[in-house]
Amino acid sequence: MANGQGASTETLNAIMKAFNTHDLDAIMEFFDDDCTFETSKGPEPHGQRLVGKQAVRDGLAARFEAIPDVQYDADRHWFSADGDRAVSEWLVHGTTTGGVTIAARGCDLWEFRGEKIARKDSYWKIVEA
């Protein structure tokens, strides 16, 4: 379902596939040059803010290194009425290099500039034992 601005459900599915194969080149093709990625945790209330394609790439590479088997599934996507924003819900799971198992619901808030991601704001549920 296209939103009129270039991004679509198919685009979000392709982004998910690139994340699940840890294909940084494919992932970064979706991002605009001056993109922003606000991670799910970090030193500020917005998490860690990564600005620009290289910073986003480096941040994602670090995530894939820290959680080598990370996967996102059970995803659903929808778009705002104006078409330049989207939401993806998913289940993230994997095991850190330290042996910690992760399984949490999360979501991404996307802002698109045409077909390119201008901003990705990521959230994970906090799972407590």
- Considering the domain 9-124 in this protein, what is its CATH number? 3.10.450.50
pLDDT of residue 50: 97
The pLDDT tens digits for 42-94 are: 889 889 999 999 999 999 999 999 999 999 998 899 998 777 999 999 999 99
| DSSP letter (8 states) at residue 126 | P
| DSSP letter (8 states) at residue 8 | B
Q: Which DSSP helix (H) or strand (E) runs through 34?
A: strand 31-38
Residue 123, beta-bridge partner list: 107
